[in-house]
Chain A
């Protein structure tokens, strides 16, 4: 579970059903499915009748969550990878009204990307209900070339775009849904400490 030790990092308080919402959209990634399944007891027929579940298995062990999520009885759609899920979320939101609440669960990188889609529809990030599940891997933007590397578990690491050795700074951008990566050996090229596994 990610704590709020970094002031630029969002807090992920955990999924809880907004009692008065007219519509519930759940976007779940990998182990994020568990965040919804754990509150299945709160999913009354009324809530389920107003719910849409979007799911991508990435990061999960196997595909076991498909069945469990489908069995909840709400409208369900599974995406093969994250980008189609984000595309579908965008379409769902474009047809939604005030009173729709969005729930996101999964890795921090996934939550960040889905939040970007929501913000474009005028949804205030604070009103989105989130829960972090799964890997602590970070999504990191290289401040130099602007390329984003997914699933970063060590610091430093090599930027997958420009190849610089990047130190992962404890600074998170909600707009980019990413941490900041800064060249670690800029002052003395080649002086790169061994990578540490920090974000497994």
Chain B
């Protein structure tokens, strides 16, 4: 998109085993916009003849207007983005970065904020805590990790926030005391969780079982587009056919073909890339969190960032 920023990599730091922090500063200089805790940016990376666009939470102080920082875990089955950042990205490289977008903002009405992170899910909370601390808001962080060596930001967060930060390392036998966490919290407390889906489900479930209302529960679904069988899509306006590869999302295939559909989150949450299905013979594999079950069943709309298709004909209003 035209308003995207050219940003130079000015630091690459291994925050923990398998987690690399990337600092980006604007090539043109000048202060960056401040942002809100929980915001992400979409980073476009030229990797050979492929352009990868991945969303990453901003994990720096929102008032640091000189640069943005992201932290990327090396994925076991990388689609390319994390391997690129861990293996090929170098200081001095220039990446294209979109404006910060927030689909996981704090509820500013909260009397207290409880943050529960698992592994790389710590990233949005680093920025949130900087805002909470500056505004004098009550918060605590509960951070589950495989081991202290894998706990990105643990040291710096404990230095900054002291006993408000609690770390639970699995290799030391420590576990998130979820049932205790949701007990005796003051009315008006909000709970946020980010990390592996299983952990988030456990957190939300425990809170619900303790009588917490949905309005107080917030989760950031960190999702990469799922791989699948290749398929082909027909564009209604031009009649063109675009092939979607097994490790490519529909959105990525369209972008590679020179079409630029609208998007914001690239993770099936925001609804911006909703596209009308003109015709299909087969099954749409909805992979998003946006459509209602009824809308999925009707399949008159597809979220092209996350959903795939199995069948012999799919025509989209593009």
Direct contact of A and B (CB under 8 A): yes
Pairwise interchain contact A124-B213, C-beta atoms closer than 8 A: yes
Contact indicator per residue, chain B 100-138, by CB within 8 Å of chain A (1) or not (0):
000000000111000000000000000000000000000
Smallest CB-CB separation from B109: which chain A residue?
A122
Q: Which residues of B contact A127 (CB under 8 A)?
A: 213-216
Report if B184 contacts A (CB, 8 A). yes
Pairwise interchain contact B211-A100, C-beta atoms closer than 8 A: yes
Chain A at the B interface: SS class: loop
Identify the interface centre among A20, A96, A101: most chain B CB within 10 Å of its CB: A20
Q: Which parts of A120-158 form the interface with B (CB within 8 Å)?
A: 121-124, 126-127
Pairwise interchain contact B188-A122, C-beta atoms closer than 8 A: yes
Sorting the interface of chain B by its residue count into under 10, 10 to 19, 20 to 34 or 35 or more gives 20 to 34
Report if B290 contacts A (CB, 8 A). no
Give the CA-CA distance A121 to B187 in the complex, in Å.
Answer: 6
Pairwise interchain contact A98-B187, C-beta atoms closer than 8 A: yes
Q: Which residues of B contact A20 (CB under 8 A)?
A: 208-211
Give the CA-CA distance A85 to B187 in the complex, in Å.
Answer: 19
Report if A193 contacts B (CB, 8 A). no
Known contacts A93-B187, A122-B188, A123-B187; A98/B109 CB under 8 A: no
Q: Which residues of B contact A99 (CB under 8 A)?
A: 182-183, 210-212
Q: Which residues of A contact B211 (CB under 8 A)?
A: 18, 20-23, 98-101
Give the CA-CA distance A22 to B184 in the complex, in Å.
Answer: 10
Q: Which residues of A contact B212 (CB under 8 A)?
A: 98-99
Q: Which residues of A contact B110 (CB under 8 A)?
A: 122
Report if B10 contacts A (CB, 8 A). no
Report if B260 contacts A (CB, 8 A). no
Identify the interface centre among B111, B213, B214: most chain A CB within 10 Å of its CB: B213
Report if A7 contacts B (CB, 8 A). no
Q: Which residues of B contact A121 (CB under 8 A)?
A: 111, 187-188
Least CB distance, A90 to chain B, in whole angstroms: 12
Give the CA-CA distance A96 to B182 in the complex, in Å.
Answer: 13
Give the CA-CA distance A20 to B207 in the complex, in Å.
Answer: 10
Smallest CB-CB separation from B111: which chain A residue?
A122
Report if B6 contacts A (CB, 8 A). no
Q: Which residues of A contact B210 (CB under 8 A)?
A: 20, 22, 98-99
Give the CA-CA distance A57 to B254 in the complex, in Å.
Answer: 66
Q: Which residues of A contact B185 (CB under 8 A)?
A: 97-98
Give the CA-CA distance A22 to B207 in the complex, in Å.
Answer: 11
Pairwise interchain contact A96-B209, C-beta atoms closer than 8 A: no
Q: Which residues of B contact A22 (CB under 8 A)?
A: 210-211
Give the A interface residue count (CB, 8 A): 18
Pairwise interchain contact B214-A98, C-beta atoms closer than 8 A: no
Q: Which residues of A contact B182 (CB under 8 A)?
A: 98-99
Identify the interface centre among A20, A93, A99, A101: most chain B CB within 10 Å of its CB: A99
Report if B189 contacts A (CB, 8 A). yes
Least CB distance, B204 to chain A, in whole angstroms: 12
Q: Which parts of B165-193 form the interface with A (CB within 8 Å)?
A: 182-189
Known contacts A20-B208, A20-B209, A20-B210; A126/B188 CB under 8 A: no
Least CB distance, B183 to chain A, in whole angstroms: 7
Q: Which residues of A contact B208 (CB under 8 A)?
A: 20
Identify the interface centre among B184, B209, B212: most chain A CB within 10 Å of its CB: B212
Pairwise interchain contact A96-B187, C-beta atoms closer than 8 A: yes
Give the CA-CA distance A99 to B183 in the complex, in Å.
Answer: 8
Give the CA-CA distance A98 to B209 in the complex, in Å.
Answer: 11
Least CB distance, B268 to chain A, in whole angstroms: 24
Least CB distance, A16 to chain B, in whole angstroms: 13
Least CB distance, B47 to chain A, in whole angstroms: 44
Give the CA-CA distance A35 to B207 in the complex, in Å.
Answer: 28
Pairwise interchain contact A97-B186, C-beta atoms closer than 8 A: yes
User: Of A18, A93, A96, A98, which one neighbours B216 at CB under 8 angstroms?
Assistant: A98
Give the CA-CA distance A127 to B185 in the complex, in Å.
Answer: 17
Give the CA-CA distance A97 to B180 in the complex, in Å.
Answer: 13
Least CB distance, B201 to chain A, in whole angstroms: 16
Known contacts A98-B210, A98-B211, A100-B211; A124/B216 CB under 8 A: yes
Least CB distance, B27 to chain A, in whole angstroms: 44
Q: Which residues of A contact B214 (CB under 8 A)?
A: 127
Least CB distance, A88 to chain B, in whole angstroms: 16
Least CB distance, B177 to chain A, in whole angstroms: 16
Pairwise interchain contact B188-A97, C-beta atoms closer than 8 A: no
Identify the interface centre among A22, A98, A122, A127: most chain B CB within 10 Å of its CB: A98
Q: Which residues of A contact B187 (CB under 8 A)?
A: 93, 96-98, 100, 121-123
5 A-B pairs with C-beta separation under 8 A:
A20-B209, A93-B187, A99-B210, A122-B111, A124-B216
